[in-house]
């Protein structure tokens, strides 16, 4: 266990940002935190960087996890230009997913040792935070034994639909990438992929479930509060 715990969590809202630009931002922070750990918690440049909870939105983009199957992108890459979308192979876990406007994408770049968490418990923390948030809006959600993310009607063979995807990378207990919650997302873009490699499983959004476009900033603020509270509780603060 690291004897130089960094109890600070900084919230950063990058707004609408290109996927690769946000990925590069994460990578720089991720690598710096790992370098700090390798220096024994006493980096040459002075104080350790804070753990960061990053929120953003992306223009239309499809991303494939490191063990994903490219065949789950159901369109030719030339067609991406027609639908104003881009495509990236990433170093996160999971298969293919879509990011776009109206979706809260969360990238916690944190040292799990600061929070007394292992990777499995950390992913459970993300899942439970999303479930709690959706409950505030009257949406009952849960987990699915055979798939990642947060689902509605998870046990129903036909009605099951995903509302939040989760894909994380970790090294030396430092995390990057994270989750994507569909708030006011254009769900048509999911028709061009097998989301997370799952054939014939539905995808939904808060807007679709509640029948009206949601206050995006309110949802984002509520989720920020829930995540920070749960992380700090894990820290024992």
Active site residue 56: no
Q: What are the pLDDT tens digits along the chain (237 aa)?
A: 444 667 789 999 999 999 999 999 999 999 999 998 888 765 555 677 889 999 999 999 999 988 888 888 888 888 999 999 999 999 888 788 899 999 999 999 999 999 999 999 999 999 999 999 999 999 999 999 888 899 999 999 899 999 999 999 999 999 999 999 999 999 999 999 886 555 457 899 999 999 999 999 999 999 999 999 999 998 765
Nearest residue to 227 (alpha-carbon basis) of 129, 85, 92:
129
Is 156 within the bounds of a domain? yes
Is 3 within the bounds of a domain? no
CB contact at 8 A, 173 and 115: no
Is 202 within the bounds of a domain? yes
Is 1 within the bounds of a domain? no
Q: How many CA atoms lie within 13 A of 207 on its CB side?
A: 16
Q: Report the domain count for the chain.
A: 1
Q: List the catalytic residue out of 196, 203, 206, 223.
A: 196
Q: Whole-model pTM?
A: 0.92
Query: What counts of helices (H) and strands (E) characterise the chain?
Result: 5, 11
Is 207 within the bounds of a domain? yes
pLDDT at position 205: 98
Is 4 within the bounds of a domain? no
CATH number at 141 reads: 3.30.930.10
Is 2 within the bounds of a domain? no
Could you list the residue range(s) of the whole structural domain that residue 104 is in? 9-235
Is 53 within the bounds of a domain? yes
**Helix or strand or coil: residue 204?**
coil
């Amino acid at each position: 266990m690291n004897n130089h715990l960094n109890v600070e969590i900084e919230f950063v809202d990058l707004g609408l940002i290109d996927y690769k630009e946000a990925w590069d931002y994460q990578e720089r922070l991720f690598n710096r935190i790992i370098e700090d750990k390798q220096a024994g918690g006493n980096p040459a440049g002075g104080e350790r960087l804070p753990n960061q909870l990053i929120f953003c939105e992306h223009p239309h983009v499809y991303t494939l996890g490191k063990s994903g199957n490219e065949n789950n992108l159901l369109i030719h890459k030339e067609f991406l230009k027609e639908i104003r979308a881009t495509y990236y192979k990433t170093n996160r876990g999971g298969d293919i997913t879509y990011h776009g406007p109206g979706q809260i994408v969360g990238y916690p770049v944190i040292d799990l040792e600061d929070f007394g968490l292992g990777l499995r418990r950390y992913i459970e923390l993300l899942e439970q935070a999303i479930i709690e948030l959706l409950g505030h809006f009257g949406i009952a959600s849960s987990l699915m034994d055979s798939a990642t993310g947060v689902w509605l009607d998870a046990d129903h063979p036909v009605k099951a639909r995903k509302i939040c995807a989760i894909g994380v990378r970790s090294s030396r207990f430092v995390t990057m990438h994270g989750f994507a919650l569909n708030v006011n997302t254009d769900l048509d873009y999911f028709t061009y992929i097998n989301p997370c490699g799952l054939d014939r499983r539905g995808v939904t959004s808060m807007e679709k479930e509640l029948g009206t476009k949601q206050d995006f900033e309110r949802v984002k603020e509520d989720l920020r509060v829930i995540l920070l509270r749960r992380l700090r509780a894990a820290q024992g603060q």
